[in-house]
Structure 1
Amino acid sequence: MTIVVTVKINDGIVLASDSATTFSDDDGNVVKIYNNANKVFNLVKGLPIGGLTWGAGGIGAASISTITKDLRRRLSGKDPDHLDWALGDNYTVEDVANRVKEFFFDELFRAEFGQEPPPNFFLGFKVCGYSAGAGLPELWDFRIIGNDAVGPRLMRGQDSAGPNWDGEYEAMDRLILGVGSKFKDVLVTEGVPAENVQEAANRVIGQLSVPVVLAAMPIKDAVDLATFMVETTIRFVGFNMRAATVGGPIEVAAITKHEGFKWVQRKLFFSEELNP
C-alpha cells in the first residue's frame, strides 16, 4: 500500500507521496517492506509535466521507477527507435497520459503477462501539469486493474481545484470526507437498499466533508497541505493494528506555469558531493 496525493490550485499542482513498497506472499501476507521507493517523477526534464504511481511496484523484473525513466527517454526524443514519441511544441497533458497507457499497458503489460496477469494486479499512474501554452494545469488518471486498462480519465480539468488521494484511503477519507472506507458497507448492513447506498453516501459526505482548498491559495500552502496529508496517513497507518505499509521519506514536487517542475523535498541514494 502507499499514499499519493495531488493538490491542484490556480497557480499550479503539487505532487506528494510516501516511499514504502510492500512485498507479500501468495496468501497476501506481508513479507517485506522497503522504505525507499520512488513514486514521484518529472516525466520530461525541462517541461512542466509530472507523474505519480501507486499499486504494483514493477512489471516483470523492472521497477516502475526504471520503466518511467525509459518512458521519459522516449518523450524527450532520446530513444532513436521511438523518435515519434518526442513531445512537440503543441503537446497536451492528455497526449502524455495516452502515451503512458500505450507504454505501460499496450506494450509492457501485454508483453509480460499476455491475457493472464497475476491475481489482483493493480497499477495506478497519474499524469499532471501544463499542456503547451496553457495557463492552468490538469490532472489525468490511468489504471491497470486485473487484465483491463481504465482511462486515461480527466480527474481535474483546468477549471477545477482541490485535493486527490489514492492508495491508502482511510485516513484522508475520515479526515476530509467525514466517513471511513467501509461506510457504504455499514449502510447496507443497517438496511439501506443497495440501489440507494451511493446516493445516501453522497448526501452524507456532502454534509460532513471539510473543504481544505481554495483555488486561489498560494502554492506554498498547497505544498504544506499535500505534505500534511501524506504525513498524517503515515502516522495513522503506523499506529493502526497492521503492518506499516505506508512510510519512509516523504517526497514532494510542485509544478507551476513559470518555474515548471521543481522538487520541494526528495530522497537521494547518492551523495551530492560525490555526484554533483
Structure 2
Amino acid sequence: MSIVVNTTTPEGIILAADSRQSYRNMKGMARVGSENAVKLFQINSRIGAGIAGLAFLVENGVPKNLSQFIEEFKHEDGVEDMEVEEVVQGLYHLFNRKYNWEDQLNDLEASIGNDLQSKGLKIINVQRKDNQVHFTFQNPQGIVEEINAGLDIIEVLVAGFNRDGSHQVFSCRIPGQVQKLRDSYQIDKQYGSSWIGQGDVITRIVLGFDGRIVNLDFVKDALGTLGEAEVQRQLQGMEYNIQWGTMTLQDAVDFATLMIHTTSAIQRFSDGINADPGDMPGVGGPIDVAVITPDHGFVWLKKKKLNFEDVEVDLDRCPYI
C-alpha cells in the first residue's frame, strides 16, 4: 500500500515516500514483494508526484509496475511545460484508461450477485460508490444483512510550482476524483501537510482520530442528532496546532520522514485495530525525499540507487545512449 507525505511551507515543498511493495497472494495472504519499489517521481523541473495503493496494472496480458506508466508519461511531448493541475489531470486520465476499473467493478458485482442468489439469498438493493459495491440482502430466515466489496484503488499525489511561481498540491484516486489540497492563491490552503496511502497512523497523530471513528455507535448517534458539519467542527478541535506557515524546509523534511518512520514502526508492532483486526504492513524500506523550491525546482535530497556490494549507480546521472 505504501505512504507518500507532502509538507508545504513558505520555503518550499517536501515529498517523501517509503519503498515497500506489498500484495496479497492467491490465498489472500499479505506478502512483501519488494523493499525497493519507486514511489516518488520527478515529472518535470518544477513538479513531483508520488503513488500509493495498487502496485500493478495489466497491459496486453502482462502485469506492469505503475512506475513504468509514469516514466512513459514523463517522456511525452509537452510535459516539461505542464502546470501542476495539468500533470494531475494527465495522470488521472492515464490511470483511468489503463485500470479499466469500470469493467472490473461490473464483473465483481455480477460475481457477488450470482454467489448470493446461489445460496438462496434475496438481493434487496445494490449501490455503487467509486470503487465499492454495497449489497443489501435477505436470508431465508427473513433477516436483512449487508455486505461491501470493492476494488483496490490507485492514489496519486502531485505537488510543485507553476511557471508563474505559484505552488499547488493535488491528489487523485482511481476510481475517484481529483482534489486540490494546497494553493498559494487560497489563504486557507497555502501551507500544510497531506498524505496518501496507509495514512491512519499519521491521521491519528495529527488530527487526533482516523476515519474509522464514524463506525462507532456514539459517533453515528452524534451524526444523526448534531449533523455532519457540527461533528466535524468538534473533531477538528483534536487536531494538533502545527504552525505550517512558520515551518522551515528542514523541519518539513524532519516531519515528513518522521511520519513515515512512525507508520512503519506502528505497523511492525500492531495488526490493525481492535474494532477491525488484521492489516497489511505496507510501509517500509528506504525513504526517498525530494525538495521543490521556486528557485531550484525539483531536487532529490535522498534517492535509492542501484547497488551491489560496495558499488552504487544512480541511473539518472548516467548518459543516455
Name segments (4+ residues, structure 1) moved above 6 Å: none
User: TM-score, normalised to structure 2's length?
Assistant: 0.72
Q: Which amino acid in the other structure matches residue 16 of structure 2?
A: A
Q: For 1:1-40, what per-residue CA distance to the aligned partner results, in whole angstroms no more than 9, with x for missing partners?
A: 2221100112211111111111103564313442111111
Which of 93, 96, 100 is the matching residue for 1:105? 96
1:73-115 per-residue CA deviation (whole Å, 9 max, x = no partner) reads 11xx3xxxxxxx4443xx4211112211232223x234xx662
Q: Structure 1's 189 and 50: CA in aligned 2 closer, same or farther, altered over 3 A?
A: closer
What secondary structure is seen at the aligned counterpart in 2 of 1:121? coil
Provide structure 1 residue ranges, at least 5 long, that are not aligned to the other structure: 78-84
CA contact (8 A) 2:260 2:283 kept: no
**2:244 alignment partner, one of 214, 229, 242:** 214
Residue number among 87, 99, 111 corresponding to 1:96 in the alignment? 87
Distance in 2, Cα, partners of 1:274 & 1:252: 15
Counterpart in the other structure of 1:123 = 154
Tell me the SS of whatever aligns to 1:59.
Answer: strand
Matched-pair contact (CA < 8 Å) for 1:11–1:216: no
Task: Give the aligned partner of residue 272 of structure 1.
Answer: 312
Q: How many matched pairs?
A: 255
Report the alpha carbon displacement of residue 190 of structure 1 after superposing the two structures with TM. 6.8
Partners of 1:39 and 1:249 lie apart in 2 by 11
Tell me, in whole angstroms, the C-alpha distance in 2 between the residues paired with 1:128 and 1:173. Answer: 20
Q: What's the % identity of the aligned pairs?
A: 24
The correspondence for 2:262, drawn from 232, 241, 245, is 232
Q: Which moved more, 1:166-175 or 1:183-192?
A: 183-192
User: 1:172 aligns to what?
Assistant: 202
Please give the alpha-carbon distance, in whole angstroms, between the structure 1 residues aligned to 2:162 and 2:252: 21
Deviates more, 1:167-176 or 1:239-248: 239-248
- Relative to structure 1, the CA distance from residue 183 to residue 94 in structure 2 (aligned partners, 3 Å threshold; closer, same or farther) is same
Gaps of 5+ in 2: 109-149, 272-278
Match of 2:50 in 1: 52
Quick check: 2:306–2:314 contact (8 Å CA) kept in 1? no
1: distance between equivalents of 2:28 and 2:229? 33
| SS of residue in 2 equivalent to 1:116 | helix
Aligned residue identity for 2:183: G
Q: Which amino acid is the alignment partner of residue 92 of structure 1? A: E
CA contact (8 A) 1:188 1:194 kept: no
In the alignment, the residues of structure 2 paired with residue 215 and residue 221 of structure 1 have an alpha-carbon distance, to the nearest angstrom, of 12
Q: Measured at CA, do residues 219 and 182 of structure 1 come closer, stay the same or move farther in structure 2, by a change above 3 Å? A: same
Residues 1:273 and 1:32: Cα distance change in structure 2 (over 3 Å): closer
Shift of 1:193: 4.3
Counterpart in the other structure of 2:24: 24
CA shift, 1:269, in A, is 2.1
CA-CA distance at 1:211 after TM superposition: 2.3
Alignment CA distance shift 1:68-1:257 (3 Å) = same
User: What secondary structure sits across from 2:103 in the alignment?
Assistant: coil
The residue that corresponds to 1:82 in the other structure is: none
Helix, strand or coil for the counterpart of 1:37?
A: coil
CA gap of 1:120–1:27, structure 2 versus 1, over 3 A, is: farther
Normalised TM-score (structure 1): 0.83
Match of 1:155 among 152, 162, 181: 181
Letter in 1 for 2:294: K
CA contact (8 A) 2:288 2:302 kept: yes
2:11 is the alignment partner of 1:4: no
Displacement after TM superposition at 1:231 (Å): 0.9
Distance 1:233 1:257 in 2: 30
